[in-house]
Structure 1
Amino acid sequence: MQAPQLEPRFVRRLSLLCCHCVRNIAYYRVGFVGEDGTGSLKQPSQFGATVNGDLLDIAVLEWCKLFADRNARHHWKRFVRADDDQKQFLSGLLAATGISLEDWKRYLDQMRVYRDKFVAHLDDQQVMNIPTLDGALSSTFFLYENVRAKSPDHIFRTPHLVHLPDDLEVYYEACCDEGRAAYGAARNFD
């Protein structure tokens, strides 16, 4: 497997996937009264449920491109190429998510099952287990931070990348605020 060079286009797409993933998680979570991805929806209509479910599905799809599908064009191992570097990255990733390697593997499987059995296909499983997104969020923050730190400085000064956030956690919070404002505006139209 030939890894792509660290060219601006590759870094841009990897960075954009990280941004898309956390933005969808933010919007998904603030769609709930408790803003934790569980409980009652702020918009308890068919429209609200559909939009909220779509946000979850896109977040999982984008995250799987980054972490769950080893053959994906933008899997983290294509960014972290050397075996020793991959071991170091994985160790840092596990520390950032606060889970063991075995738990990480189970989490990957949970995300894949949701994606494969309920998003990409509708298989015969009777119960849909919606994955928690804490691990997706922390792992994506970690990857983005590494992309920013390990890419040559000039890459993020190009016209195609200059608009990307410096800090993905700050961006996530801004997306949460935007989602809250949108839900507040929607209540004013009721």
Structure 2
Amino acid sequence: MGDKYLTLSKLNLEGEFLGFVGDEPGKCKYLQLATPSGNMQVKLPKELRHSLGLSLVSGEQIRVCGHSKLNSRTGTIQLKAYQVTSIGTCPNEIPPPQPKARIMVCQKSGCLKRGGKGLLSELEKTLCDRGLLDKVTIEHTSCQKCCSSAPNCVLQLGKKKYKNIHPDAIASLLENHLT
């Protein structure tokens, strides 16, 4: 900061992160912090700017460690951070939505003749009884190339796939996955 600045004291501030302030878009030179005593701007060192720009979320509770310096020419106090840590999450942060489960049931003639219609109706009845029908997408597919094990049904939970399982087992897996 040069010789015109005199170090006053170390600081340890806690508050709500409001956002970044910079001379140019995408360059976060300062962070804004809401504390009980008011809003403050704290200068960030270059090595912290990029990493904090990617990790901090508005509304997050943070702790800022640094020091305050007095500009002897202008009489203004500047706050400069050397460490910024998160102490809590954003109170209004919404968890990411869980992907809907998919059940793919083969509707080709071979599967239908070997119990595909009964499987589909039993599956819908079981899911409805347990209140899971609205949390799952049932898709009618063409041949799944497993005709020897007909009727074919595939349950997809995220990236996992379960093949040829009973409707009660599907409902149990869904309950475990969705809770």
**TM-score when normalising by structure 1:** 0.23
Which structure: greater helix fraction? 1
Which structure: greater strand fraction? 2
